[in-house]
Chain A
Amino acid sequence: GENVEQHPSTLSVQEGDSAVIKCTYSDSASNYFPWYKQELGKRPQLIIDIRSNVGEKKDQRIAVTLNKTAKHFSLHITETQPEDSAVYFCAASIDSGTYKYIFGTGTRLKVLA
């Protein structure tokens, strides 16, 4: 079955630095990869996503890259701010009509002021 591995589990960066979170997936049929941000006690919120026919997508300070050959995708946050501190989850979905999402185990990002 599909498996998604996410690294690192925790990440501390200085304010203004960049943060990178990486995920690998096992099922080559996966073709949709969303990233969610979850603040303490809140629900996961979609921040960016990418489909398998695209190699990179950017939205202001956030970007996601996808390497289909290596089966991994990454979240890049530039110019980090204290409000970026949260847990980030990657996920992979198989667009086969089942719409099942498999999530990574999460990365706790701490931006130090």
Chain B
Amino acid sequence: NAGVTQTPKFQVLKTGQSMTLQCAQDMNHEYMSWYRQDPGMGLRLIHYSVGAGITDQGEVPNGYNVSRSTTEDFPLRLLSAAPSQTSVYFCASSSERLAGYETQYFGPGTRLLVL
């Protein structure tokens, strides 16, 4: 299993540009989440999904959209990039059904710089 994969690893955007951060998992996990990590602020939940077709907002959803058309994929879309969205983005997946509890596994992260 590849686990949780993310692309790209690093991206530079100009203010106002849009882009999609890709996340995929091959563990058949029903739960997937997106976090952003900023210095001194830990990991903050952006959006999450409890299954295909079901998404919900986390702590900091503004400026981001998600969709979950399949169990495997959970892309994060930046609608109009702003310098405040400069961060490291982590995707994570988990499964209560398989493990009995919801341990999360993280992807390698995407480092985003918005100029």
A interface residues with partner B (beta carbon < 8 Å): 1, 6, 9, 32, 34, 36, 42-46, 49, 51, 89, 91, 93, 95, 97-106
Contact = CB atoms under 8 A, between A and B. Distances in A.
Contacts of A104: 42
Interface of B: 31, 33, 35, 40-45, 48, 50, 56, 58-59, 90, 94, 96, 101-109
A106 B42 contact: yes
Contacts of B33: 99-101
B109 A43 contact: yes
A99 B106 contact: no
Contacts of B106: 36, 43-45
Contact of B43 (A32, A89, A93, A95): A89
A95 B56 contact: no
